[in-house]
Amino acid sequence: MLWIYFVLIVAVLVFGFGVVLVNRRRSVAPAAPVRTALPPKPAPVASETVAEDDTVVEDDTVVETTQDFERPNFRSRMSKARSAFTGALIGIAGRTGITNETWDDLEEALLRADVGVRVADELLGGLRARVKAKEITEPGQLLTALQAEMTSRLEGADRSLHLEPGDADSPNVWLFVGVNGVGKTTTIGKVSALQQQAGVSVLMAAGDTFRAAAAEQLTTWAERSGAEIVRGNEGGDPSAVIYDAIERAGARGVQLVLADTAGRLHTKTNLMDELRKVRRVAAKGKGRVTEVLLVIDATTGQNGLTQAREFGDATDVTGVVLTKLDGSAKGGIVFAIETELGLPVKLVGLGETIGDLVPFDPAEFVEALVSLD
Side-by-side strand order, sheet with 172-177: 228-230, 202-205, 256-259, 172-177, 288-297, 319-323, 345-349, 357-359
Question: Is residue 174 within 8 Å of residue 258, measured between CB atoms?
Answer: yes
What single string gives the DSSP state of each residue in 191-239? Answer: HHHHHHHTT--EEEE----SSHHHHHHHHHHHHHHT-EEE---TT--HH
Sign of the dihedral defined by the CA atoms of residues 55, 61, 64, 69, in that order: negative
Q: Crossing angle for the helix pair 333-341 and 303-315, nearest 10 degrees?
A: 40
The tens digit of pLDDT for each residue in 255-287 reads: 999 999 876 665 566 777 878 888 888 888 788
β-pairing, 256-259 vs 228-230, is unpaired
| φ, ψ (nearest 5 deg) of residue 154 | -105, 0
Spatial separation of the C-alpha atoms in residues 58 and 253, rounded to whole Å? 35
Run of H or E including 279: helix 269-282
In this structure, the number of other CB atoms found within 10 A of the CB of residue 121 comes to 13
User: Which sequence spans correspond to the domains of the chain?
Assistant: 172-317
CATH 3.40.50.300 fits 172-317, yes or no: yes
pLDDT of residue 252: 93
Task: Give the residue-averaged pLDDT of 311-315.
Answer: 78
| φ, ψ (nearest 5 deg) of residue 23 | -60, -40
pLDDT of residue 34: 29
pLDDT of residue 103: 93
On whether the pTM is more than 0.85, the answer is no
pLDDT of residue 41: 31
Task: Give the residue-averaged pLDDT of 243-249.
Answer: 93
Least confident of 9-18, 181-190, 198-207, 225-234: 9-18
